[in-house]
Structure 1
Amino acid sequence: MTGTRSEPDFGGVVSQENGDQAPVDNQFYLALAPFDSFDDVTQLDRYRPLPDNWIIAVADVSQSTEAIQQGRYREVNTAGAAVLAAVSNALPDLQFPFTFGGDGASFAAPGAYSSIIKDTLAKTAAWAGDALGLVLRVAIIPVADIRARHLDVLVARFAPSSNVTYAMFAGGGLAWAERELKNGRYAVPRAPFGETADLTGLSCQFAPISAKHGVILSLIIIPRDDPTSFMELIQELLRTLRPYDSGLHPLPANGPLPAWTGAHLGHAIKTGSRNTPLATWAAKCLRAIVARVATLLGVRIGGFHEARFRRELVENTDFRKYDDGLRMTLDCSAELADAIDVRLEEAQRRGACYFGTHRQSAANLTCFVPSPTQANHVHFVDGASGGYAFAALNLKRNIAGGFGPETTR
Structure 2
Amino acid sequence: MKDTTGFYDNLPRIAQFSELTSPASYWSLPDDWVVGTADIVGSTGLIAEGQYKLVNMIGASVISAHINASGGQAFPYIFGGDGAALAVDPARAAESARILGVLKRWADEEFGVSLRVAQVPVSEIRAGGFDVSVARYRASGAVDYAMFSGGGLSWAEARMKAGENALPAAEPGAQPDLEGLSCRWSNATARNGCILSLVVRPAPDRPRAAFDRVMHDIVELAEGLHRSGHPLPPDGPGLEFPPPGLDLEAHVSRGRTSMFRRRLELLAENLIAWVFFKAGLKTGEFEPAHYKAMVSTNADFRKFDDGLKMTLDCDAGTQWRIRSVLDTARKGGILRYGMVEQEAAMITCFVPSIHQDDHIHLVDGASGGYAKATEMMRARPV
TM over 0.5: yes
Q: How does 1:341-356 map to 2 (within 5 A)?
A: 341-356=323-338
For the residue of structure 2 that corresponds to 1:258, the secondary structure is coil
2:299 corresponds in structure 1 to: 317
Identify the match of residue 173 of structure 2 among 181, 194, 206.
194
Which letter does structure 2 place at the counterpart of 1:266?
E
Separation in structure 2 between the aligned mates of residue 24 and residue 241 of structure 1, nearest angstrom: 40
2:58 corresponds in structure 1 to: 79
Cα displacement string for residues 227-254 of structure 1 (whole angstroms, at most 9, x for unaligned residues): 1111111111222222214161011111
Larger mean Cα displacement after TM superposition, 197-206 or 110-119: 110-119
Cα displacement string for residues 17-47 of structure 1 (whole angstroms, at most 9, x for unaligned residues): xxxxx99642100111111000011121111
Against the structure 1 CA distance between its residues 53 and 247, is the aligned structure 2 distance closer, same or farther, given a 3 Å change threshold? Answer: closer
Separation in structure 1 between the aligned mates of residue 231 and residue 286 of structure 2, nearest angstrom: 24
Identify the match of residue 305 of structure 1 among 284, 287, 305.
287
Separation in structure 2 between the aligned mates of residue 276 and residue 376 of structure 1, nearest angstrom: 29
1:265 paired to 2:248: yes
Which letter does structure 2 place at the counterpart of 1:385?
S
Cα displacement string for residues 144-183 of structure 1 (whole angstroms, at most 9, x for unaligned residues): 1111012110111110111111111111111101111111
1:214 paired to 2:193: yes
Which letter does structure 1 place at the counterpart of 2:139?
P
1:373 corresponds in structure 2 to: 355
Separation in structure 2 between the aligned mates of residue 257 and residue 69 of structure 1, nearest angstrom: 25
Which letter does structure 1 place at the counterpart of 2:370?
Y
Separation in structure 2 between the aligned mates of residue 127 and residue 264 of structure 1, nearest angstrom: 16
Which letter does structure 2 place at the counterpart of 1:375?
D
Against the structure 1 CA distance between its residues 40 and 78, is the aligned structure 2 distance closer, same or farther, given a 3 Å change threshold? Answer: same
1:59 corresponds in structure 2 to: 38
1:387 corresponds in structure 2 to: 369
Separation in structure 2 between the aligned mates of residue 328 and residue 208 of structure 1, nearest angstrom: 17
Displacement of 1:201 after TM fit?
1.1
Which letter does structure 1 place at the counterpart of 2:103?
T
CA contact (8 A) 2:77 2:85 kept: yes
For the residue of structure 1 that corresponds to 2:174, the secondary structure is coil
1:243 paired to 2:236: no
Separation in structure 2 between the aligned mates of residue 231 and residue 273 of structure 1, nearest angstrom: 48
Displacement of 1:337 after TM fit?
2.1
2:107 corresponds in structure 1 to: 128
Displacement of 1:226 after TM fit?
2.8
CA contact (8 A) 1:226 1:351 kept: no
Q: How does 1:140-155 map to 2 (within 5 A)?
A: 140-155=119-134
Displacement of 1:269 after TM fit?
1.8
Displacement of 1:276 after TM fit?
2.8
Larger mean Cα displacement after TM superposition, 280-289 or 152-161: 280-289
Against the structure 1 CA distance between its residues 370 and 354, is the aligned structure 2 distance closer, same or farther, given a 3 Å change threshold? Answer: same
CA contact (8 A) 2:39 2:59 kept: yes
Gaps of 5+ in 2: none
Separation in structure 2 between the aligned mates of residue 289 and residue 68 of structure 1, nearest angstrom: 29
CA contact (8 A) 1:131 1:273 kept: no
CA contact (8 A) 2:254 2:262 kept: no
1:291 corresponds in structure 2 to: 273
Identify the match of residue 170 of structure 1 among 141, 144, 149.
149
Separation in structure 2 between the aligned mates of residue 280 and residue 268 of structure 1, nearest angstrom: 8
Identify the match of residue 85 of structure 2 among 106, 117, 122.
106
Sequence identity (%): 38
Larger mean Cα displacement after TM superposition, 360-369 or 283-292: 283-292
1:331 paired to 2:310: no
Larger mean Cα displacement after TM superposition, 55-64 or 284-293: 284-293
CA contact (8 A) 2:250 2:263 kept: no
For the residue of structure 2 that corresponds to 1:185, the secondary structure is coil
1:255 paired to 2:236: yes
For the residue of structure 2 that corresponds to 1:27, the secondary structure is coil
Separation in structure 2 between the aligned mates of residue 110 and residue 282 of structure 1, nearest angstrom: 40
Separation in structure 2 between the aligned mates of residue 256 and residue 324 of structure 1, nearest angstrom: 29
Gaps of 5+ in 1: 1-21, 404-409
CA contact (8 A) 1:221 1:356 kept: yes
Q: TM-score, normalised by structure 1?
A: 0.88
Identify the match of residue 214 of structure 2 among 223, 233, 254.
233
CA contact (8 A) 1:263 1:280 kept: no
CA contact (8 A) 2:179 2:253 kept: yes
Task: Provide the aligned C-alpha RMSD in A.
Answer: 1.9
For the residue of structure 1 that corresponds to 2:60, the secondary structure is helix
1:118 corresponds in structure 2 to: 97
Displacement of 1:195 after TM fit?
0.7
Against the structure 1 CA distance between its residues 337 and 191, is the aligned structure 2 distance closer, same or farther, given a 3 Å change threshold? Answer: same
Say how many residue pairs are matched. 378
CA contact (8 A) 2:250 2:266 kept: no
CA contact (8 A) 1:257 1:292 kept: no
Identify the match of residue 16 of structure 2 among 16, 19, 37.
37
Which letter does structure 2 place at the counterpart of 1:243?
G
Displacement of 1:352 after TM fit?
1.8
For the residue of structure 2 that corresponds to 1:221, the secondary structure is strand
